[in-house]
Every structure is written in structure tokens, then in C-alpha cells.
Amino acid sequence: GAVVSQHPSWVICKSGTSVKIECRSLDFQATTMFWYRQFPKQSLMLMATSNEGSKATYEQGVEKDKFLINHASLTLSTLTVTSAHPEDSSFYICSAKTGVNEKLFFGSGTQLSVL
């Protein structure tokens, strides 16, 4: 099956620093990638949808200047949490889909802890 690699698996950073999370589709071309945030024992909250070569579409309430998304190629999307604060601590997950396949392929997630 299709594989999505997400790095890093976990990151601890100081408040005010920026953190970049990478999401790569290893064996397929991802026309669309999604970024989610998940709190403990909660559902996935969609943050944004990114299509290769175009600007990401952010969900209501998600600050686009704080959560920068770049989808520069059909196999790579990045999420940068800028000037991170403790309230940004969460589990971030990416997913990818091809043009005609309706199911999503998920990365393994990144646990971000901001001190």
C-alpha cells in the first residue's frame, strides 16, 4: 500500500522558536495533502488542505501566518509552526491522497511539545 512518511516523530522546542514538520509520499504522487491537529483522546481537526503548486486552503480559525504550509512537489508538503507557544503543543498528522483514490494515507504523526 501507499506509504506516507512524516518527520520528525516528536519534537521538543522552546517557546518562540519555529518547527518544521515534513510529510512525504514515498511511492505515489500526492495531488492533495491534508494537515490535522489532534488533542489527546479527541478527533482529528483539519487545519488545512494543500494542493501541489498552489496556496493552502486553511480551515476557519486556523492562523495561516502561524501555520505555514508549503506543498512544493507532488511528494512533499511541510508544515511550519512559527513562533511556537505552549498552547501549540499537540499531535500533528498529515495525510495524502491521489487524484482518483478517495481514501487517505496517513503519516505516523508528530508530537510537538513547546516548553
* Contacts to other proteins by CB under 8 A: 4, 6, 31-32, 34, 41-44, 46, 49, 91, 93, 95, 97, 99-109, 111
* Under 8 Å between Cβ of 87 and 16: no
Handedness of CA 51, 78, 74, 33 (dihedral sign): negative
Q: How far apart are CA 109 and CA 115, in angstroms?
A: 19
Nearer Cβ to other proteins (15/27): 27
Q: Give the residues across from 106 on adjacent strands.
A: 95
Nearer Cβ to other proteins (88/95): 95
Measured from the CB of residue 83, what is the shortest distance to other proteins in angstroms? Answer: 26
Measured from the CB of residue 39, what is the shortest distance to other proteins in angstroms? Answer: 11
